[in-house]
Amino acid sequence: MPSAVKYLMATDANLQVLGAAYIQHRCYSDSEAKKQARSLQAIPKLVKLFNHSNQEVQRHATGAMRNLIYDSPENKMSLVEENGIYELLLALKEQDDELKKNVTGTLYVFLLINCYRECILLSVKQRNNS
């Protein structure tokens, strides 16, 4: 996991994809991997990749986030703290269907708990005001 998180900061898009794909795979159903990724600061690094110039990087970063926040209130809160909802909404502007699927899937997972709906509304307002 440490190498994967380090790859997220690489200048090479292929390494960023590799890191995000590994995080996505490991965090699919492993709560310990989710905790480890959070402790290694993977969430802010992934958020920065949501609107990367390379759509493959965007796809993998948003897919990794979907798995990271599933069944993890701590990771959901980290996503909010990193302005991740706003960045996800910005990524919806892209025409890529796979990216849109990942973004809407991430937002759906985020909304599984009612208290987070307010965060979505605030982010939509923020996006509309900018």
What are the tens digits of pLDDT across the range 107-122? 888 777 655 666 666 6
Q: Give the residue extent of every domain in the chain.
A: 2-129
Q: pLDDT at position 129, please?
A: 75
7-64 pLDDT, tens digit per residue, is: 999 999 999 999 999 999 999 999 999 999 999 999 999 999 999 999 999 999 999 9
pLDDT of residue 60: 98
**pLDDT over 90 at 99, yes or no:** yes
- What confidence score (pLDDT) does residue 109 get? 86
What's the average model confidence in pLDDT over 97-102?
A: 94
Place of tokens 């798995």: 67
Rounded CA separation 98/105 (Å): 10
- What DSSP assignment string belongs to 91-103? HTTS--HHHHHHH
CA nearest neighbour of 125 among 85, 80, 95: 85
Termini Cα distance of the chain: 36
**CATH code for residues 2-129:** 1.25.10.10
